A and B are shown apart, each in its own frame.
Chain A
């Protein structure tokens, strides 16, 4: 799967700060998208879009930290870099504990932000890969019947067919048939591959 071009989502209530960050992104070949408020971003938020968030903490209406919480609730938090003009160190600790990539004070050196940005985008790619893997796994698992599922669990646990047959009260032949169906539906060629997929 070709990774989509990532976007840097810039959320800050100050127009000049937004604009300058967008130009900075452009200067290093990144795509920047600006939002004047947390609510504006939420309305446009699309979990399928790759990228990271550069987020101001203090904004009228919903604050940056509140947005972070909300995105977590929605189950699709992109990596966040907080920027702040206030020097809120106690807030910083909380934000990072809740999974922010970093917390940078204004005015900042562009290299610092860009480094963190790079880190965040890589994190996002990683996260999406994981997500994709999991979804794929679920999709395949759904193909299995209940019985096939049982066979899968026992086989992946390392039990030979004979033991599986005994556990499930089936003939060894039946177990072999189930096993080959499982392999097919899970789109794997070997036991090793199956184990790798499921764990």
Chain B
């Protein structure tokens, strides 16, 4: 060989050896022609052990069986599955262990002979990090759900007196109906028709109490998040009764003004209901502190300027102090002596996890408007990856 050729050869080998990534060259038949130092390191074979061997020895099944097929089909004119593209594959070391690799393949033609050069990177570490990230992400999700659940229990606790009252009403009616029916039966002064009516009324009241319990249970449930395509008015409607209980317990009136035909949203029902209840409860607290300017709390739904679905809770209470404005969503910030202050921060985190925003505005009259918006179902699914 000429000196120049020797130089080039030496240079070429030095290049291969210097590369951090493994470089393997195979011929048309798929036999290994060249095996760089990095390749020796990651596969555990020495060059002399693999030169002349089919490349498939570096692959575990089923890649091993597939590869021969790829090569043949490529050589006979099929479009490249990997040439110039690069993808993740699995390699097998000399000791039989497998590991993830990133592979990119190029084609070389020289002196009429075709060879393929593959550049391989061991991505085990990367893969491990990706796994860990996924796990952390899942844990964070779980923690968020636990926190949201704690928030719901908190709301139920705050509403306990109101709920007890709401169950007490039908209970009291049942008690009175039953005793009245007993007297009527004894005095013989009523007919079957009326007695049946009273029994029916008792059943209705029992259902009514049962309904309050059912709604409480739904709120207290520690369920897995399930985001579904829902109508915000349905979601709000379902929680109106519980919200009304809270308002009535403090002698306030809850009104709802829900715009018809709003676009559907992708959301977790229970979590959104939790946010609504939290806002209503805060409205009630604000009004208790106020000077009695009014006794109406309004829930309104409608589109916002950007086509998102917005829900507002408007109160006639004392209003937020200027100096508290920046901290109102902070965890553990509360204007109440007995308040834990986690409600709003949990609510905000729920809304943000849904891709929405939460905020407040001052009313022209007394009180505040707290609102949140949510992207439409279309927006949500397009944005999801």
Give the distance to chain B from A22, nearest Cβ to Cβ, in Å. 9
Contact A17 B165 (CB under 8 A): no
Q: Counting CB contacts under 8 A, is A28 at the interface? A: yes
Contact A110 B176 (CB under 8 A): yes
The 0/1 profile, CB within 8 Å of A marked 1, for residues 148-180 of chain B is 000000000000010001001111111111011
Which candidate, A40-48, A101-109, A151-159, A177-185, is the interface stretch facing chain B?
A101-109
Q: Counting CB contacts under 8 A, is B111 at the interface? A: no
Contact of B169 among A17, A23, A60, A110 (CB under 8 A): A17
Contact A60 B253 (CB under 8 A): yes
Contact of B179 among A14, A63, A110 (CB under 8 A): A110
Q: Which residues of A contact B (CB under 8 A)?
A: 14, 16-17, 19-21, 23-24, 26-28, 58-60, 63, 85-86, 106-110
Please give, as numbers and ranges, the residues of chain B lying within 8 Å of A19 by CB-CB distance: 173, 201
> Assuming A16-B205, A19-B201, A60-B295, is B173 touching A24 (CB within 8 A)?
no
Please give, as numbers and ranges, the residues of chain A lying within 8 Å of B175 by CB-CB distance: 107-110
Q: A17-B176, A26-B184 are in contact. List 13 more A-B contacts (CB 8 A).
A: A16-B173, A16-B205, A21-B176, A23-B181, A24-B176, A27-B184, A27-B190, A58-B249, A60-B253, A85-B168, A85-B172, A86-B165, A108-B175
Contact of B172 among A23, A27, A63, A107 (CB under 8 A): A107
Contact B177 A20 (CB under 8 A): yes
Contact A20 B165 (CB under 8 A): no
The 0/1 profile, CB within 8 Å of A marked 1, for residues 179-223 of chain B is 111011001011000000010010011001000000000000000
Of all chain B residues, which has the CB nearest A27? B183
Of all chain B residues, which has the CB nearest A83? B172
Q: Which of A14, A19, A20, A24 has the most chain B CB atoms inside 10 A of its CB? A: A20
Q: How far is the CA of A181 from the CA of B261 in the complex (A)?
A: 86
Contact A24 B251 (CB under 8 A): no
Q: How far is the CA of A106 from the CA of B171 in the complex (A)?
A: 8
Please give, as numbers and ranges, the residues of chain A lying within 8 Å of B205 by CB-CB distance: 16
Contact A24 B169 (CB under 8 A): no
Contact of A16 among B161, B184, B201 (CB under 8 A): B201
Q: How far is the CA of A184 from the CA of B176 in the complex (A)?
A: 55
Give the distance to chain A from B288, nearest Cβ to Cβ, in Å. 14
Q: Is the interface of B mostly helix, strand, loop or mixed?
A: helix
Contact A20 B173 (CB under 8 A): yes
> Assuming A60-B248, A85-B168, A107-B168, is B173 touching A23 (CB within 8 A)?
no
Please give, as numbers and ranges, the residues of chain B lying within 8 Å of A59 by CB-CB distance: 251
Contact B248 A27 (CB under 8 A): no
Contact of A109 among B170, B179, B183, B208 (CB under 8 A): B179
Q: How far is the CA of A17 from the CA of B177 in the complex (A)?
A: 9
Q: How far is the CA of A26 from the CA of B189 in the complex (A)?
A: 10
Please give, as numbers and ranges, the residues of chain A lying within 8 Å of B165 by CB-CB distance: 85-86
Contact A20 B169 (CB under 8 A): no
> Assuming A23-B177, A27-B184, is B253 touching A108 (CB within 8 A)?
no
Q: How far is the CA of A97 from the CA of B123 in the complex (A)?
A: 84
Of all chain B residues, which has the CB nearest A106? B172
Name 18 interchain pairs, CB-CB below 8 A, sorted by A: A14-B173, A16-B170, A19-B201, A20-B174, A23-B176, A23-B180, A24-B176, A24-B179, A24-B180, A26-B184, A27-B184, A27-B187, A60-B253, A60-B295, A63-B251, A106-B169, A107-B171, A110-B179
Q: How far is the CA of A59 from the CA of B250 in the complex (A)?
A: 9
Give the distance to chain B from A54, nearest Cβ to Cβ, in Å. 11
Please give, as numbers and ranges, the residues of chain A lying within 8 Å of B171 by CB-CB distance: 106-107
Instruction: Sort A-B residue pairs by CB-CB distance and give the 8 closest, nearest first.
Output: A106-B172, A16-B173, A110-B179, A20-B176, A27-B183, A107-B172, A24-B180, A107-B175
Of all chain A residues, which has the CB nearest B198? A23
Please give, as numbers and ranges, the residues of chain A lying within 8 Å of B183 by CB-CB distance: 24, 27-28, 110
Please give, as numbers and ranges, the residues of chain B lying within 8 Å of A106 by CB-CB distance: 168-169, 171-172
Give the distance to chain B from A126, nearest Cβ to Cβ, in Å. 26
Please give, as numbers and ranges, the residues of chain A lying within 8 Å of B208 by CB-CB distance: 16
Please give, as numbers and ranges, the residues of chain A lying within 8 Å of B253 by CB-CB distance: 60
Of all chain B residues, which has the CB nearest A17? B173
Please give, as numbers and ranges, the residues of chain B lying within 8 Å of A20 by CB-CB distance: 172-174, 176-177, 180, 201
Please give, as numbers and ranges, the residues of chain B lying within 8 Å of A21 by CB-CB distance: 176
Please give, as numbers and ranges, the residues of chain B lying within 8 Å of A58 by CB-CB distance: 249, 251
Contact A17 B184 (CB under 8 A): no
Contacting A at CB under 8 A, from B305-349, are none
Please give, as numbers and ranges, the residues of chain A lying within 8 Å of B170 by CB-CB distance: 16
